[in-house]
Amino acid sequence: MATTTALATTLPTDTWVVDPDHTTIEFRVKHVGLARVRGVFHRFDGALAVGEDGAASLSGTVDAASLDTGVAARDEHLRSADFFDVDNHAHIAFSATSIETLGEEGLRIVGDLTIRGVTRSIELTGEILGTGLDDAGAERLGLELATVLDRRDFGLTWNQAIDGGGLLVGNRVDVRLEVSAVRRP
Protein backbone atom coordinates (compact mmCIF):
# COMPACT_ATOMS: atom_id res chain seq x y z
CA MET A 1 0.00 0.00 0.00
CA ALA A 2 1.33 3.40 -0.96
CA THR A 3 2.06 5.97 1.69
CA THR A 4 0.35 9.29 1.12
CA THR A 5 2.30 12.51 1.04
CA ALA A 6 1.01 16.08 1.18
CA LEU A 7 1.73 18.07 -1.98
CA ALA A 8 1.77 21.75 -2.68
CA THR A 9 0.51 20.42 -5.93
CA THR A 10 0.40 21.17 -9.58
CA LEU A 11 -0.86 17.60 -9.92
CA PRO A 12 -4.61 17.66 -10.54
CA THR A 13 -6.76 16.07 -7.85
CA ASP A 14 -8.59 12.79 -8.46
CA THR A 15 -7.55 9.24 -9.31
CA TRP A 16 -5.63 8.66 -12.53
CA VAL A 17 -5.27 5.16 -14.02
CA VAL A 18 -2.34 4.35 -16.32
CA ASP A 19 -3.37 3.69 -19.93
CA PRO A 20 -1.06 0.89 -21.13
CA ASP A 21 -1.90 1.59 -24.78
CA HIS A 22 -0.40 5.09 -24.51
CA THR A 23 2.33 4.51 -21.92
CA THR A 24 5.87 3.21 -22.39
CA ILE A 25 8.15 1.63 -19.81
CA GLU A 26 11.62 1.37 -21.35
CA PHE A 27 14.97 0.16 -20.03
CA ARG A 28 18.51 0.40 -21.47
CA VAL A 29 21.60 -1.60 -20.54
CA LYS A 30 25.07 -1.62 -22.08
CA HIS A 31 26.06 -4.71 -24.04
CA VAL A 32 29.77 -5.57 -24.33
CA GLY A 33 30.46 -2.13 -22.88
CA LEU A 34 29.82 -0.54 -26.28
CA ALA A 35 26.18 -0.25 -27.26
CA ARG A 36 22.97 0.05 -25.29
CA VAL A 37 20.32 -2.59 -25.68
CA ARG A 38 16.80 -1.27 -25.25
CA GLY A 39 13.76 -3.10 -24.05
CA VAL A 40 10.18 -2.39 -23.09
CA PHE A 41 7.52 -3.99 -20.93
CA HIS A 42 4.16 -4.45 -22.64
CA ARG A 43 1.84 -5.38 -19.72
CA PHE A 44 1.53 -3.21 -16.61
CA ASP A 45 -0.92 -1.21 -14.54
CA GLY A 46 -0.76 1.67 -12.12
CA ALA A 47 -2.70 4.45 -10.45
CA LEU A 48 -2.03 7.88 -8.98
CA ALA A 49 -4.48 9.35 -6.49
CA VAL A 50 -4.28 13.01 -5.47
CA GLY A 51 -6.71 14.27 -2.82
CA GLU A 52 -8.17 17.74 -2.36
CA ASP A 53 -5.85 18.12 0.66
CA GLY A 54 -2.81 17.44 -1.51
CA ALA A 55 -2.27 13.92 -0.17
CA ALA A 56 -1.08 11.60 -2.94
CA SER A 57 -0.40 7.91 -3.48
CA LEU A 58 1.01 6.00 -6.43
CA SER A 59 1.53 2.31 -7.11
CA GLY A 60 1.94 0.00 -10.06
CA THR A 61 2.90 -3.47 -11.22
CA VAL A 62 4.65 -4.78 -14.32
CA ASP A 63 4.28 -8.26 -15.80
CA ALA A 64 7.98 -9.23 -15.92
CA ALA A 65 7.36 -11.80 -18.66
CA SER A 66 6.09 -9.05 -20.98
CA LEU A 67 9.61 -7.72 -21.59
CA ASP A 68 10.64 -7.29 -25.20
CA THR A 69 14.08 -6.35 -26.54
CA GLY A 70 13.31 -7.35 -30.11
CA VAL A 71 15.42 -10.53 -29.92
CA ALA A 72 13.46 -13.63 -28.87
CA ALA A 73 16.48 -15.60 -27.56
CA ARG A 74 17.66 -12.65 -25.46
CA ASP A 75 14.13 -12.13 -24.10
CA GLU A 76 13.91 -15.78 -23.04
CA HIS A 77 17.29 -15.49 -21.28
CA LEU A 78 16.08 -12.34 -19.47
CA ARG A 79 12.94 -14.21 -18.33
CA SER A 80 15.07 -17.10 -16.98
CA ALA A 81 16.44 -17.58 -13.47
CA ASP A 82 19.65 -15.84 -14.62
CA PHE A 83 17.76 -12.53 -14.66
CA PHE A 84 14.08 -11.83 -13.83
CA ASP A 85 13.17 -15.44 -12.95
CA VAL A 86 9.58 -14.89 -14.08
CA ASP A 87 8.51 -18.43 -13.12
CA ASN A 88 9.06 -17.50 -9.46
CA HIS A 89 8.70 -13.69 -9.62
CA ALA A 90 6.00 -12.85 -12.14
CA HIS A 91 5.67 -9.18 -11.23
CA ILE A 92 7.77 -6.11 -10.66
CA ALA A 93 6.06 -3.79 -8.16
CA PHE A 94 6.44 -0.14 -7.18
CA SER A 95 4.80 1.77 -4.33
CA ALA A 96 5.56 5.43 -3.65
CA THR A 97 6.60 6.49 -0.18
CA SER A 98 6.80 10.20 -1.05
CA ILE A 99 5.70 12.36 -3.96
CA GLU A 100 6.97 15.91 -4.27
CA THR A 101 6.37 18.54 -6.90
CA LEU A 102 9.39 20.62 -7.84
CA GLY A 103 8.42 23.98 -9.21
CA GLU A 104 5.48 24.13 -11.56
CA GLU A 105 6.20 21.01 -13.61
CA GLY A 106 8.94 19.03 -11.85
CA LEU A 107 8.24 15.83 -9.97
CA ARG A 108 10.24 13.65 -7.56
CA ILE A 109 8.88 10.29 -6.46
CA VAL A 110 10.62 8.06 -3.92
CA GLY A 111 9.32 4.56 -3.40
CA ASP A 112 9.90 0.88 -2.98
CA LEU A 113 10.70 -1.14 -6.10
CA THR A 114 10.51 -4.94 -5.89
CA ILE A 115 12.24 -7.11 -8.51
CA ARG A 116 12.85 -10.86 -7.99
CA GLY A 117 11.49 -10.57 -4.44
CA VAL A 118 14.11 -7.94 -3.52
CA THR A 119 12.81 -4.52 -2.46
CA ARG A 120 14.93 -1.37 -2.62
CA SER A 121 14.12 2.32 -2.34
CA ILE A 122 14.52 4.23 -5.60
CA GLU A 123 13.97 7.80 -6.78
CA LEU A 124 12.18 8.75 -9.98
CA THR A 125 12.47 12.31 -11.27
CA GLY A 126 10.77 13.97 -14.16
CA GLU A 127 8.04 16.32 -15.11
CA ILE A 128 4.32 16.75 -15.23
CA LEU A 129 3.50 17.19 -18.91
CA GLY A 130 -0.01 18.50 -18.20
CA THR A 131 -3.61 17.48 -18.68
CA GLY A 132 -5.94 17.52 -21.64
CA LEU A 133 -8.89 15.84 -23.30
CA ASP A 134 -8.39 13.00 -25.75
CA ASP A 135 -10.46 12.37 -28.89
CA ALA A 136 -13.07 10.45 -26.83
CA GLY A 137 -13.45 13.30 -24.32
CA ALA A 138 -11.57 11.54 -21.49
CA GLU A 139 -9.29 13.71 -19.38
CA ARG A 140 -5.65 12.61 -19.44
CA LEU A 141 -2.56 13.37 -17.37
CA GLY A 142 0.92 13.07 -18.86
CA LEU A 143 4.07 12.32 -16.85
CA GLU A 144 7.64 11.68 -17.89
CA LEU A 145 9.84 9.94 -15.29
CA ALA A 146 13.32 8.42 -15.19
CA THR A 147 15.70 6.64 -12.84
CA VAL A 148 18.98 4.75 -12.89
CA LEU A 149 19.29 1.37 -11.17
CA ASP A 150 22.13 -1.03 -10.45
CA ARG A 151 20.69 -4.38 -11.46
CA ARG A 152 22.86 -6.20 -8.89
CA ASP A 153 20.87 -4.47 -6.11
CA PHE A 154 17.92 -6.63 -7.14
CA GLY A 155 19.75 -9.95 -7.47
CA LEU A 156 20.27 -9.71 -11.24
CA THR A 157 23.93 -10.65 -11.09
CA TRP A 158 24.42 -13.00 -14.05
CA ASN A 159 27.23 -11.90 -16.34
CA GLN A 160 29.89 -13.30 -18.64
CA ALA A 161 33.49 -12.21 -19.24
CA ILE A 162 34.26 -11.26 -22.83
CA ASP A 163 37.46 -11.64 -24.83
CA GLY A 164 39.70 -8.62 -24.39
CA GLY A 165 38.34 -7.89 -20.91
CA GLY A 166 35.08 -6.50 -19.66
CA LEU A 167 31.66 -8.01 -19.16
CA LEU A 168 28.85 -8.89 -21.50
CA VAL A 169 26.11 -7.03 -19.58
CA GLY A 170 26.42 -3.64 -17.89
CA ASN A 171 25.20 -3.17 -14.34
CA ARG A 172 23.67 0.27 -14.85
CA VAL A 173 20.06 0.19 -16.02
CA ASP A 174 18.46 3.39 -17.30
CA VAL A 175 14.68 3.32 -16.88
CA ARG A 176 12.31 5.76 -18.56
CA LEU A 177 8.52 6.00 -18.23
CA GLU A 178 6.31 8.00 -20.59
CA VAL A 179 2.95 7.87 -18.82
CA SER A 180 -0.52 8.71 -20.06
CA ALA A 181 -3.13 8.25 -17.34
CA VAL A 182 -6.88 8.66 -17.58
CA ARG A 183 -9.03 10.28 -14.90
CA ARG A 184 -11.08 7.53 -13.28
CA PRO A 185 -14.80 8.19 -13.94
**What are the tens digits of pLDDT across the range 78-111?**
999 999 999 999 999 999 999 998 887 899 999 9
Residue-level pLDDT at 23 = 97
Nearest to 39 by CA among 74, 84, 63, 89: 74
Nearest to 27 by CA among 14, 15, 41, 47: 41
Q: How many domains does the chain have?
A: 1
Confidence of residue 7 (pLDDT cuts 50, 70, 90): very low
CATH code of the domain containing 105: 2.40.128.110
Burial class of 60 by CB neighbour count within 10 A (0 to 12, 13 to 18, 19+): buried
End-to-end, the C-alpha distance of the chain in Å comes to 22
Q: How far apart are CA 119 and CA 114, in angstroms?
A: 4
The one-letter code for the residue type at 168 is L
Domain extent at residue 37: 5-183
Residue-level pLDDT at 165 = 83
Confidence of residue 172 (pLDDT cuts 50, 70, 90): very high
pLDDT digits (tens, 9 = 90+) for 129-151: 999 999 999 999 999 999 999 99
Residue-level pLDDT at 164 = 81
Q: How far apart are CA 101 and CA 162, in angstroms?
A: 44
Q: How far apart are CA 2 and CA 99, in angstroms?
A: 10
Residue-level pLDDT at 5 = 41
Q: How far apart are CA 2 and CA 166, in angstroms?
A: 40
Q: How far apart are CA 169 and CA 149, in angstroms?
A: 14
Residue 124: Cβ within 10 Å count: 21
Residue-level pLDDT at 69 = 97
